[in-house]
A and B are shown apart, each in its own frame.
Chain A
């Protein structure tokens, strides 16, 4: 009898301990699923703040928690003390610091251009998919999307001019590979700020369309008038990469606004929260986009093409599986 009581007591103890362990495990697991992400951004930057707000709104019904860190005061201890699942960086000034910190968790850099990410992703566009820690959600549109737009805007295009600096030379290679399949001929013009005027002239004389890369050596508010005026002189339409660029005088472009970019990132966060690993070769292109055109410039160049929404729908339908 006594033995039985002792056995019961032992079982109770084991059961109690099991319950405690299970409860602890359950608690521990649940705390993992309510993942904590670090967001690094510059509070003084209007677009970063706006993007952060979009991200909060899109994830507020999930278990995802955000801890914000200011990019100006960044340290490894600051990040690791919160045991985050992910680090999300919105600030263009922070990637190098984050790479140097050698964190063991994934780091998602966003609101960066391809040209800027090249510095941290040397193998850009030829990187192999491994257990990569740093992923770059770039602002640039993928080459196939841009070329598809050119086909819709100016169907008889053969020669596409590209002015680039050393910063964006990787993108030219990728563009050339993609263009080959679509029977386009890419005419690349390597330049720097000293030879820009000459190269623009050269390019505009010989190309049917100028496709602009987001390369601040070539395209900035100072050089934009020269580029747009010279291209217009030779009736070479420019495919721009942002709303401001198109408003200034580019004929059209594929762009992703902050809301669209935040939607894509929030979806990646939710997937990660569901246990899916973030797998990429390093560069992740915008998933959601719109076509914007400048009808005044198009009319003046005798270019007639469907409405912006029709162009967006066409490009979307071509990309859907």
Chain B
């Protein structure tokens, strides 16, 4: 026994000595073996400097997101000029850009760590099924304007690019509880850690939301998500994201005459999301990125109504597989090239919308390339194109060109033009819906892709030792072949490409961080829709304004004030047109207490003052004052 113990002790000593030596050797590797150190802040993690970007970009980083006091992911987008956030119901948020939208905004492409979560069912994103929690977001980059060249079809009006927090940081475990005056409750828990070269994080969130006071729009939602980062070697990084979400979304038609056909019930909606991402950083200038993702959503909703023998089945199911490969490298000191290929396969099962029990599918393939040429220190040219084939609308071509003039490194003027497209979704192409024997909607068939021709002139400037940045742009967008998916009046609705519109607008954004404790952010958008039908004309607010000031204090106190304004507008298919102007004042205060050297407790009080008590999609959806109390514990 004693010998065994000695042997064991010796083995431990040898193992410990090895650990010490490894750390010691590793330290000297930092000095003398530069090639053995992986590039942590690689090109894929660093956004392009805004002065050199060919498009207009809003960057919402973790600090700004925390300072805003946003209680849900969608609320963050109120900080983006021109972006409109609304609620079709309290449990069904809507994020759109520059209008032309119903409760399913189809012009906004949403990516999570490079994987699209665009729904093949309605187009756009069903935000209540988004496979991510606000705590797991590291940064959101919003490209304001079309960008099919980089993101393919459906990057039609805007692209929301969400980057999740690397599981290597911050390595903490903990949880939070949030309660509010409207009986809503949210529990969030996270654990994280590492094993050799693998860092992982697992999060769980449980939401109970009461929605609007006068609507049956409760939501119960459970979500488990995880991210795993495996550093294969100094060049290769593997990332795996997994998410499973289950929800009960209460629904009921708020118009009493229609209540009999659309009664109060719970829709059981769920989604599963998987993503495998492999980055191969060959040199600091050359990167190969591959991404395979899968998202499946399904909604069970079957109910009986009087006078109809059969149950109404609004059950739907969709699947989307996506694979992308992107290679970026420097051709020479003046030219950088990105090229890539991608493929998408999507299926939809929706008997109510396409009047068949069959599952419909669509395939898409794309090839894209973009070159950045530094003509001289003052001029940068960006040119690119994407060719995409789609089973429904055939071949599409989207080019883009931009010229940036940099009179100095702090100031950039950009001129850009592009043509982009949105391919019709499966439920648009095969639309055929009935209520009993009454036909409600029918697709004209062989739908074309919606197109946009966009031109913009912008300026981005850095001031006060680069602590203040300002961006202003004027744009002219011409939309053609828009697909009408909403019922403007009773009777059979034919889905076709008859819509068109022209949008001119002006947007600005200012960010100022004079020090590490103060944040100032503001944005404004003027949007004018013309040359279109009356319903589309008012589908975006003319004026959209946001303002945020946040201050951190020495004793770990933090306060912030945010003000959001949106002038009146009309969502397509809204039952409360026009939606009155929206004004809200958010006041947040938080205090962090530190104990035991690496544990902290954060207590936050968030208030949302509805200044106009405006009503949203439905006349019963009246905004109300909200107070949230959140307690969060973190153990590092």
- A interface vs B, CB < 8 Å? 46-47, 92, 113, 139, 155-156, 158-159, 194-195, 197-201, 205-208, 214, 216, 219-222, 224-226, 228-230, 232-236, 241-245, 247-249, 258, 294, 296-297, 299-300, 302-304
Contacts and interface: CB of A to CB of B under 8 A. Distances in A.
A216 B171 contact: no
Contacts of B62: 233
A241 B28 CA distance: 11
B30 A300 contact: no
| B interface bracket (residues with beta carbon within 8 Å of A) | 35 or more
B138 interface: yes
Contact of B636 (A159, A195, A228): A195
Given A221-B36, A302-B462, A248 B41 contact: yes
Contacts of A241: 30-31
Contacts of A299: 46, 49, 52
A221 B169 contact: no
A197 B636 contact: yes
Interface in B25-78: 26-41, 43, 45-47, 49, 52, 61-63
Interface in B438-484: 462, 465-467, 469
Given A206-B516, A232-B41, A296-B46, A201 B166 contact: no
Given A155-B465, A242-B30, A207 B516 contact: yes
A232 B29 CA distance: 23
Interface in B131-183: 138, 166, 168-172
A230 B169 contact: yes
Given A46-B32, A241-B31, 16 more contacts: A47-B32, A139-B31, A197-B636, A198-B597, A206-B516, A206-B517, A214-B30, A221-B30, A229-B166, A230-B170, A233-B138, A242-B31, A242-B32, A243-B34, A299-B46, A300-B49
Nearest to A212: B30
B34 A92 contact: no
Contacts of A304: 409-410, 466
A245 B30 contact: yes
B231 to A, nearest CB: 8
B148 to A, nearest CB: 25
B23 interface: yes
> Is chain B's interface secondary structure helix, strand, loop, or mixed overall?
loop
Contacts, number: 152
Nearest to B35: A244
B516 A244 contact: no
A211 to B, nearest CB: 15
B33 A244 contact: yes
Given A155-B465, A258-B32, A248 B37 contact: yes
B41 A233 contact: no
Nearest to A216: B27
Nearest to B231: A225
A225 B23 CA distance: 15
B394 interface: no
Interface string B419-430: 000000000000
A249 B41 CA distance: 5
A220 B27 contact: yes
A155 B465 CA distance: 8
A236 B516 CA distance: 9
B88 to A, nearest CB: 34
Contacts of B26: 216, 220-222
B600 interface: yes
Contacts of B517: 206
Given A197-B598, A214-B31, A229-B166, A224 B40 contact: yes
Contacts of B24: 92, 216
Q: Give the most central of A92, A194, A225, A243: most B CB within 10 Å.
A: A225
Contacts of B38: 221, 225, 248
14 contacts: A195-B598, A214-B30, A214-B31, A216-B23, A220-B30, A221-B29, A224-B40, A226-B169, A232-B45, A241-B30, A242-B31, A244-B33, A249-B39, A299-B52
Contacts of A300: 41, 46-47, 49
A159 B554 CA distance: 14
Contacts of A303: 466
Contacts of A197: 169-172, 598, 636
A160 to B, nearest CB: 12
B284 A244 contact: no
Nearest to B50: A302
Contacts of A214: 27, 30-31
A292 B515 CA distance: 26
Interface string B486-518: 000000000000000000000000000101110
Interface in B82-140: 138
Q: Give the most central of B46, B199, B284: most A CB within 10 Å.
A: B46
Contacts of B31: 47, 113, 139, 214, 241-242, 244
B63 A233 contact: yes
B467 A208 contact: no
Contacts of B231: 225
Given A230-B169, A245-B30, A302-B462, A224 B37 contact: yes
A220 B636 CA distance: 19
A212 to B, nearest CB: 10
Contacts of A194: 597-598
Contacts of B45: 232
Contacts of A294: 41
A228 B41 CA distance: 7
Nearest to B139: A233
B39 A248 contact: yes
A225 B169 contact: yes
A54 to B, nearest CB: 13
A46 B29 CA distance: 11
A302 B53 CA distance: 13
Contacts of A207: 516
Contacts of B513: 235
B27 A47 contact: no
B49 A198 contact: no
Interface in B212-265: 231
A228 B369 CA distance: 31
Q: Give the most central of A194, A232, A234: most B CB within 10 Å.
A: A232
B340 to A, nearest CB: 20
A225 B168 contact: yes
B49 A244 contact: no
A225 B40 contact: yes
A34 B170 CA distance: 59
The 4 closest A-B pairs by CB, nearest first: A249-B41, A216-B27, A244-B37, A244-B34
A155 to B, nearest CB: 7
A37 to B, nearest CB: 23
A135 to B, nearest CB: 20
A205 B592 CA distance: 13
Contacts of B52: 299
